[in-house]
Structure 1
Amino acid sequence: MDQIYAVALHQIFGLQFNKHFLPLYEYYGSWQEMWERGHQAPPPGNMPLYMWEKFLERRKTLNPLALVQELERKKIKVVTRLEETFPATLLQIANTPCMLYYRGDLNFLQKKALAVVGARKASPYGLTQTKTIVQELAQHDLVIVSGLARGIDGAAHEAALAAGGKTVAVLGSGVDIPYPRENKDLYHKIGEAGLLLSEFPPGTQPLDINFPVRNRIISGLSSGVFIVEGQAKSGSLITCDYALEQGKEVFALPGPVTSPLSMGPLRLIQQGAKLVIYAQDILEELGYEYTYNLFNRHQEKIINITREEKELLNIIAWEPLHIDSILARWDIQRGNVYEILLKLELQGLIRQLPGKYYVKI
């Protein structure tokens, strides 16, 4: 019953409630008590007068019961930091959220998790590596946490779900607001099979200022942060900064030094982040008993291919390569090249991209 009034107060104060949540609760003893007699005089302490005046004004028209009934209608649940089910890892970070709104299975937050972040305008290389590595991580029961953004975030969520694993999307909007639009279907999939999470009251729009703030939750829920791609001043680096402040591991995927999207991860590697080639690199660092790796699977696939197929496979890189470049590097008839490319693609060793580009997977 008391949670009803906490939700109403959060609707009034927004994220400013984080700072005053515990002092107010200690003073009034319950949120119902504050709602019913808080208008009589400002509470002692450092709560600004304008916040109290805002409370007085909104209290006249806001109906706590109707507010909670609306959450129930939208199938949104709430957990406050006073409850046992609140994730313990978030109690250890700066500016602990006073409450979380969610859809899905909150028990995911009791398991070991890894944050996966990166560029919104990701390269085919970044998307391919995200899918490959995350699927293996998810198969080892590591929960994948990300922000549902386009690019690397979305690829990480998709890969976790495809592997039958667990994924958590921490939103920069209300938990009832799908964003971005192109990930709306993914948003619904996560709501059904994973966990959608937000500290912002329902109805909050995805404003730019919300995303850096929510990044502390992405890292706070996780044992480490894995950055796949990002420019030198990428927003993904904010999540890595939070991770370092929180004493978490930072992992980075190397990429071509000629690509602006590689600058963020490469700089982090220079500063001591763990370089990641395979999922094994992350799992071993987080204390998992590793049983298999991508390299072994790749080797198994190429055991039975022909000499010509191996030669062509060695030409194709992790970065997209145009058919003209392939033909220029390999002295064989054009028709035979296309035939061998098709065989390699059917065996899951390469992928054809739009524009007659090919990439190793």
Structure 2
Amino acid sequence: MTTPPDTPAPAPTRSNAETRAWLALLRAPGLGGVSIRSLVERAGSATAAVDTIDLLRREFAIDEASLAWLRQPDEGRLDEDEAWLALPRHHLLTWHDADYPPLLRDTAQPPAALFVIGEPGLLWVPQIGVVGARSATAGGLANARSFARSLAQGGFAITSGLADGVDGAAHLGALEAPGTTIAVMGTGPDLVYPRKHAELAGRIGASGVIVTEFPPGTDARPGHFPRRNRLIAGLSLGVLVIEAGLKSGSLITARLAAEQGREVFALPGSIHNPLARGCHQLIRQGAKLVEASEEIVAELAPMALILGERLRARLAPAAASPVEAAGVERDADYVRLLAALGHDPLSLDELADRAAMSISALSSMLLVLELQGEVVSAGGGRYMRS
């Protein structure tokens, strides 16, 4: 399993000109994530990369279509992108931003930037990808909803692709916990596919995160969904497959997860169910057969603990020096959380108000304390001191 990289140093706030330059690079036809990252690092900033593109063209073998766009981009389109970013809870996370998710940063081909609706810090919460068939059986949908609900109650964010079937059921299960869910889109952040999930996307954007590497206005295209699957695998500590045919896109997600050193879990099914065959194939190839969410939590808990500690450190880099709490050396944030928690069950929203902390920070800290045996889940997304 991949070890989360060290916490990146916070990047300075981008100017409007720098953001616009990033948008121009991201919209340049044929200019991929690797090239954009290399250009920005070589030039020192996105603005400098655009301004000196003619000097850098040969070094980076930039094609004529990209050059033409960067020399004279569609200013109206860039204006629209900036207008989208100006809306509440809308963000552009670039490679150099501190909020860029660390597990995704550690993959072979991470995007140069991400368009985000919601709280970007939630992308640091330990995530489990839950994927499966669009035409899932009633049993498969029930399993997806139940596993996602239970895993979310355990402090994990549920990451999926907002598709029909298992994806949608997993998002709903996480929202019911209530917990955090992250929808990875194969379209621009302003377009929902399928359209029937527009209401679900609104709920996710209000309490969780919608994320995509595609700029606003980008339609659904077949080639976009393998790229979306790559992000689901890259963001997650592990991927759970619930019902998948032998040619399912979910198997692509599982393969990508395995290639990135992430854990792959699969639910077994009836030998008479065609949608169980993909899961059985994964198990034969080394995926872990699971029958209960607790098996997944036990497997991923050590890595979640590491990632949760790094999230806490990033969100509170200037925390007070460690102080004594209950005989254990602990910093002030944990002391404040334990004091706010007490011995009566509280929801994340109630805790956030009492402790004056963000939900993303609380999620990681509660997971750390739960793994250490100091906090227990009371069900329904509520927590109490043990």
Structure 1 residue runs without a partner (length 5+): 289-361
Look up the match of 2:28. 12
SS in 2 for 1:287: helix
Look up the match of 1:194. 208
Superposition map of 1:64-83 within 5 A: 64=78, 67-73=81-87, 76-83=90-97
Deviates more, 1:235-244 or 1:52-61: 52-61
By how many angstroms is 1:49 displaced?
2.7
State whether residues 226 and 251 of structure 1, in contact with CA within 8 Å, keep that contact through their aligned partners in structure 2: yes
State whether residues 219 and 239 of structure 1, in contact with CA within 8 Å, keep that contact through their aligned partners in structure 2: yes
SS in 2 for 1:59: coil
Look up the match of 2:332. none
| Deviations, residues 111-163 of structure 1 (Å, cap 9, x unaligned) | 11100000000001101111222111110111100000000000000000011
- In 1, Cα distance between equivalents of 2:72 and 2:275: 46
Superposition map of 1:30-179 within 5 A: 30-38=45-53, 40-56=54-70, 58-59=72-73, 61=75, 64=78, 67-73=81-87, 76-179=90-193
By how many angstroms is 1:24 displaced?
1.1
Distance 1:70 1:127, change over 3 A: closer
Deviates more, 1:255-264 or 1:54-63: 54-63
Look up the match of 1:21. 36
Superposition map of 1:272-291 within 5 A: 272-287=286-301
State whether residues 219 and 242 of structure 1, in contact with CA within 8 Å, keep that contact through their aligned partners in structure 2: yes
- RMSD of equivalent CA atoms: 2.0
Structure 2 residue runs without a partner (length 5+): 1-14, 303-386
Look up the match of 1:302. none
- In 1, Cα distance between equivalents of 2:297 and 2:82: 41
| Deviations, residues 173-196 of structure 1 (Å, cap 9, x unaligned) | 001101101111101110101100
Distance 1:64 1:234, change over 3 A: closer
TM-score, normalisation: structure 2: 0.70
By how many angstroms is 1:64 displaced?
4.5
Which fold has the larger relative contact order, with Cα–Cα distance below 8 Å and residues 6 or more apart in sequence?
Answer: 2
State whether residues 25 and 36 of structure 2, in contact with CA within 8 Å, keep that contact through their aligned partners in structure 1: no
- In 1, Cα distance between equivalents of 2:246 and 2:229: 17
TM-score, normalisation: structure 1: 0.75
Superposition map of 1:193-272 within 5 A: 193-272=207-286
- In 2, Cα distance between equivalents of 1:270 and 1:36: 53
Total equivalences in the alignment: 287
Q: Which runs of 4+ in 1 moved over 4 A?
A: 60-66
State whether residues 118 and 229 of structure 1, in contact with CA within 8 Å, keep that contact through their aligned partners in structure 2: yes
State whether residues 243 and 275 of structure 2, in contact with CA within 8 Å, keep that contact through their aligned partners in structure 1: yes
- In 1, Cα distance between equivalents of 2:152 and 2:74: 48
Look up the match of 2:19. 3
- In 2, Cα distance between equivalents of 1:17 and 1:130: 34
| Deviations, residues 305-329 of structure 1 (Å, cap 9, x unaligned) | xxxxxxxxxxxxxxxxxxxxxxxxx
State whether residues 264 and 287 of structure 2, in contact with CA within 8 Å, keep that contact through their aligned partners in structure 1: yes
Structure showing greater Rg: 1
- Which amino acid is 1:47 matched to? A
Deviates more, 1:25-34 or 1:152-161: 25-34
Look up the match of 1:181. 195
State whether residues 171 and 196 of structure 1, in contact with CA within 8 Å, keep that contact through their aligned partners in structure 2: yes
